Amino acid sequence: MSGASEMKVLALSGGVGGAKLCLGLMDVLPPGALGVLVNTADDFEHLGLHISPDLDTLLYTLSGRSHPTQGWGLEGESWHTMEALEAIGGATWFRLGDKDIATHLLRTGQLRAGASLSAVTAGLADTHQLHTQLWPMSDDPVATVVHSEAGDLSFQDYFVGRQCEPRVTGFSFSGSDVARPHPPAIAALQDPSLQAVVICPSNPFVSIDPILSIAAYREALVQCAAPVIAVSPIVAGQAIKGPTAKMMRELQMPVTALEVARHYGNLLDMFILDDSDAELAPQIREATGVEVGVTNTVMKDRESKQCLAQFVLDQVGRVSCE
């Protein structure tokens, strides 16, 4: 594991979409130069297991173990535990593969023995020989609450259990008022050698906002000497994956990259748009005052992930923070 002092780029990420860009960043940066601050407000206890979906997606993606198309879980997974659980009437709505369960058992056992989530995660990253810092946003519990026309729902109930079907009216992050930020992440944001902060094209409402709901991060981002660069999760009025566009519609927001840029507001120094949205660039500059970069943001394969990552890093010289 590399120390934080070698870190040059800090990415803020949720699950799948964010992990893709992180993989690209990991590929194009030297070992140890990338840190990822990961949403943990989707974490939940299920069947006694502490499950950290976004941390695991990062862990599996960056270590090359993730399922190539499914968007979650491991490649070559088997399902014997789930089948047996179904046979004895257990809850199977959240699919846990046999190999994936090993991660949850290791984590849960260590947490119950008193380890912090960040220590457990560092151990897992080490075991997977990641040369990237993987940081949970907090060792304290924060839980996304989805306010919806079906009432207040826990995130996994909404996201997996109900397949994002209920219309959302807003979100809150239970525990974020008292959750402590991860100290090395704050230190990295304050470190003058940090070169860039990248807000990955994750869901702004339920992947990035939970991180920003811890006030110390928002403050550190505003004061950060390195440019903060967000990549739009909305491309041509649609989300590549997941419910971002659906949520925007339900929240009565135009489903455009402009609205995402507005959403992040004064945190940003630069916003990166997909080629297909190039015509929005002047509007975004005018509305938000941030620099805009335009490139292909659709990451279909490893090469396109690397290209986008390189493009993001190439913008650093174009923007200044003050």
| Closest CB 126 distance from a copy of itself, rounded Å | 9
**Furthest C-alpha separation in the chain:** 61
- The nearest distance, CB 139 to a copy of itself, in angstroms, is 17
Mode of pairing for the β-strands spanning 133-136 and 44-46: unpaired
CB of 85 to a copy of itself, least distance (A): 4
Binding interface with a copy of itself (CB under 8 A): 45-50, 78, 80-85, 87-91, 98-106, 108-109, 111-112, 123-124, 127-128
Query: Which token pair is 203?
Result: 């869901």
Minimum distance from residue 70 beta carbon to a copy of itself (Å): 17
Question: What number of other Cβ atoms are within 10 A of residue 320's Cβ?
Answer: 10
Mapping DSSP to helix (H, G, I), strand (E, B) and coil, where does residue 135 land?
strand
C-beta closer to a copy of itself: residue 99 or 241: 99
Enumerate long-range contacts of 311-316, CB under 8 Å, 24 or more apart. 311/272, 312/21, 312/25, 312/196, 312/198, 312/229, 312/231, 312/272, 313/9, 313/25, 313/28, 313/29, 313/195, 313/196, 315/227, 315/229, 315/270, 315/272, 315/291, 316/195, 316/196, 316/226, 316/227, 316/229
- Report in angstroms how near the CB of residue 227 gets to a copy of itself at its nearest: 36
CB nearer to a copy of itself: give 88 or 252. 88
DSSP 141-200: --EEEEEETTEEEEHHIIIIISTT-SPEEEEEEETTTTPPPPHHHHHHHH-TT--EEEE-
- Choice between 48 and 192, CB closer to a copy of itself: 48
Q: Which is nearer to a copy of itself, 87 or 252 (CB)?
A: 87
| Identity of the residue, 123 or 141, whose beta carbon is nearer to a copy of itself in the bound complex | 123
Across-strand partners of 265?
none
User: Closer to a copy of itself at the Cβ: 24 or 97?
Assistant: 97
CB of 108 to a copy of itself, least distance (A): 3
* Minimum gap (Å) between residue 140 Cβ and a copy of itself: 19
6 or 77: whose CB is closer to a copy of itself? 77
Q: How far apart are CA 250 and CA 175, in angstroms?
A: 25
